[in-house]
Copies of this chain bind each other. A is one copy, B any other.
Amino acid sequence: MTPASEPYRDSSGRALTDYPRPSVAVDTAVLTVTEGGIAVVLVESEGDAALPGTFLHESEALADAVLRSLREKAGIEGLAPRQLHVFDRPGRDSRGWVLSVAHRVVVPERMLRLDDAHARVTPLAEALARPLAYDHDEIIRRAAESLRTDYRDSPDPERLMAEPFTLRELQQVHEAVAGARLPRDAFRRAMEPRLRATGELTSGTRGKPARLFRMPKASQR
């Protein structure tokens, strides 16, 4: 990296900062899975509801800006943001030339401690039915679709479940994500080989006790 004492100059003697640059924001769809399906955290601001977001600070990585905005606006910690898409339509932000890099994070419902009163967990359908700021409905749609894709053929890739769990519990989470009932046998056959059986059984429940599973050690493939 060029030291600050010798800034870069192009062939016309100008530094990069002599050219027009956009403001860059990050906006994040914080998803969780409730009994009723996918839900998303919305922040109630002056106008329409919005996703938590912030402007990128100097020399900050996008993922760090996402984590900072979640910490400040929703008291959420320790996540792995996934980049979705850059929204760049000229005029999308009335304040000026702003690019927004959309992200997705997924949090277990029990880990969501919204200490900020105007941040609320909103079911997906309800969130999309409301008027939302900027392109935030499109971001939510992409985030939900990417979550559904991830859950299509891998057991709980976002580690939403507390261990150990039964196959039925796993299926209920997958059905909440998919927003549809899943065929029981096909689900079992696809998932069981990718789990690690603990050898223990549930007790105190109605019906035949179920076997308990954990995620396999390293990559759950």
State whether A24 touches B94 (Cβ < 8 A). Answer: no
Interface residues in A75-106 by Cβ distance below 8 A to B read 83, 85-86, 88-91, 94-99, 101
State whether A1 touches B85 (Cβ < 8 A). Answer: no
Annotate A101-138 by CB proximity to B: 1 below 8 A, 0 otherwise: 10000000000000000000000000000000000000
| Cα–Cα, bound, A95→B62 (Å) | 19
Inter-chain contacts of A86 with B (CB < 8 A)? 62, 83, 86, 101
In the assembled complex, how far is the CB of residue A66 from the closest CB belonging to chain B, in whole angstroms? 11
Asked if A24 meets B24 with Cβ closer than 8 Å, knowing A86-B86, A95-B8, the reply is yes
State whether B85 touches A61 (Cβ < 8 A). Answer: no
State whether B101 touches A7 (Cβ < 8 A). Answer: no
State whether A59 touches B90 (Cβ < 8 A). Answer: yes
Asked if A182 is an interface residue, CB under 8 A from chain B, the answer is: no
Asked if A210 is an interface residue, CB under 8 A from chain B, the answer is: no
Asked if A40 is an interface residue, CB under 8 A from chain B, the answer is: no
Inter-chain contacts of A101 with B (CB < 8 A)? 86
**A61 partner, pick from B7, B8, B88, beta carbons under 8 A:** B88
| Cα–Cα, bound, A20→B23 (Å) | 8
Asked if A22 is an interface residue, CB under 8 A from chain B, the answer is: yes
Asked if A12 is an interface residue, CB under 8 A from chain B, the answer is: no
Q: Please, which residue of chain B has its CB at the minimum distance from the CB of A8?
A: B95
Asked if A96 meets B15 with Cβ closer than 8 Å, knowing A83-B86, A88-B62, the reply is yes
Asked if A55 is an interface residue, CB under 8 A from chain B, the answer is: yes
Asked if A2 is an interface residue, CB under 8 A from chain B, the answer is: yes
User: Can you show 21 pairs from A to B with CB atoms below 8 A apart?
Assistant: A2-B96, A7-B96, A8-B96, A15-B96, A16-B23, A16-B95, A16-B97, A17-B23, A17-B96, A19-B55, A20-B58, A21-B21, A21-B22, A21-B24, A24-B24, A61-B88, A61-B90, A62-B86, A62-B99, A86-B86, A86-B101
**3 interchain residue pairs of minimum CB distance:** A8-B95, A20-B58, A21-B21
Known pairs A16-B97, A19-B23 / 8 extra A-B pairs, C-beta < 8 Å = A2-B96, A8-B96, A16-B95, A21-B22, A58-B97, A59-B97, A61-B90, A86-B86
